[in-house]
Structure 1
Amino acid sequence: MTALPCILLADDDVALRQSVAEQLPLLDAVETVEAGTGAEALAAVAVRMPAAAVVGSSLPDMDGPGLCRRLRDAGMDGPVILLVRAGDEAGAMAGLEAGASETLVRPFRLGTLVTRLRTLQQAAARRQGEAAVTIGPYRFSPAAKLLEAADDGRRVRLTEKEAAILDYLHRAATGSIPNTGPGPNAGPGVVGREELLGEVWGYSAGVTTHTLETHIYRLRQKIETDPANAAILVTEPGGYRLIP
């Protein structure tokens, strides 16, 4: 008999954790594993790698972003949703940089959590089936969230959102998705900011174009020879274009 997917629930709020653990299997065919500390979460991962994780922003022994980073270091490549407090933009950004797939503002509806987990898992499954592609001087592996330089083999690790941005911009540049563009005068392969936000972050509350611009800036620091004069990920009126 095939085991059900395992979802790790790591949060110091016992009532919240137990409520999600009781209700989540009723809405989706999953098993849940609870952890009240970062150490318990890592111990659970060492026994069984979860398909996805829901992580609180503050645990007794480490913060949420720290646990996200430890989960990724332990080899977890499934979706990780970080639960944040309303207005904690710094914590949300730190979580995304540490490897969280998305942030979810608490309190939240269980149905919203389930929908986001499903959407993230579907996107991950799609990227798993995609072959590596060429972007500038790199080979880009969407599933591995990895860029490898063709000349010297240098590897560039990407966050979940950075990989999703490159993946979508590459598909737009190569005509794999309809070229809607930010306006009637947009050139081929140009993706508007709002479209990119919607594709990468979905309907995450509190995510603005500033969040996108911050990720674009950090991506350029990783992939451009001269980030101030981008030659791979360029800005166009109303949006961005990837030059593959």
Structure 2
Amino acid sequence: MTRVLLAEDDPAISEPLARALRREGYDVDVRADGQGALDGAQDNPDLLILDLGLPLMNGLEVCRRLRAGGSSVPVLILTARAEEVDTVVGLDAGADDYVTKPFRLAELLARTRALLRRNLQEEEHEGGALIRIDADARRAFIGDNELQLTVKEFDLLRVLVREQGKVVSREQLMREIWETAWLGSTKTLDMHVSVLRRKLGDDAAQPRFITTVRGVGFRFEPEHGA
């Protein structure tokens, strides 16, 4: 049985969420603080749903310690809508995806399934993976596996693949995807690039697909795309 570790200190969230996950057929272990989450992760769950605002040890520190210890458990972080900076930091700390509070249960369950599916397919993605975009159907694939992307993540990938081999400036991405003039802050863009990289199995330190061009923008490598 697929095992999910749920680290959330608010019973009003953890109890109904745990019930919903169990209805999906998952074995759910609920922890109410950061140390409990870290201890529960030693049992190698298939997924960790991690609230950032945990007592004793916050979710960011839990994530950092897991990655520093070599754990590859997929991590889905829960964060308040106003905590965009924390979301970016959480992704940088090693989280794989995020859901903002208040969240729709259907969305969280879909993200859970996508992370579990991606984890099972991880070995298939290694090597000469090919990214394909079906712009009309708004679908994206890595190899034979369909990526589960949000609207903005798909638009971001579509623009980068369209301009593959070229550097796409932050200004252009903000204008095309968010339809706004670039005013200097690109935290939202950086957050989406970070999530997209994780969904592609990419690594910012040794990129396979998306390369950061400091002070300018991003470049999609054409030898990996189609």
TM-score normalised by structure 2 residue count = 0.63
1:7–1:30 contact (8 Å) kept in structure 2 = yes
Larger Rg: 1
Question: Cα gap change, 1:128/1:107 in structure 2, threshold over 3 Å: closer, same or farther?
Answer: same
Q: Measure, in 2, the Cα distance between the counterparts of 1:17 and 1:220.
A: 32
Give, in angstroms, the shift of residue 233 of structure 1: 3.0
More RCO (CA 8 Å, sep 6+): 2
Counterpart position of 1:42: 38
Question: What is the deviation of 1:126?
Answer: 2.3
**Counterpart pick for 1:70 among 38, 41, 65:** 65
- CA shift at 1:100, angstroms? 0.9
Q: Which amino acid is 1:112 matched to?
A: E
Shift of 1:208: 4.0
Matched with 1:161 is: none
Moved runs in structure 1, 4+ residues, more than 4 A? 186-194, 212-216
Mapped partners of 2:13, 2:89: distance in 1: 23
Range moving further from structure 2, 71-80 or 48-57: 71-80
Corresponding residue for 1:182?
Answer: 159
The aligned amino acid for 1:45 is A
**What SS does structure 2 have at the residue aligned with 1:222?**
coil
| Corresponding residue to 1:21 among 18, 22, 25 | 18
3-state SS of paired residue (2:125): coil
**Aligned to 1:11, which of 8, 12, 21?**
8
SS in 2 for 1:59: coil
TM-score in terms of structure 1 length: 0.59
- CA drift of 1:18 comes to 1.4
> CA RMSD for the aligned pairs?
3.9
> In structure 1, what is the equivalent of residue 148 of structure 2?
none
1:162 matched residue in structure 2 = none
Shift of 1:76: 3.3
**How many angstroms does 1:39 deviate by?**
1.2
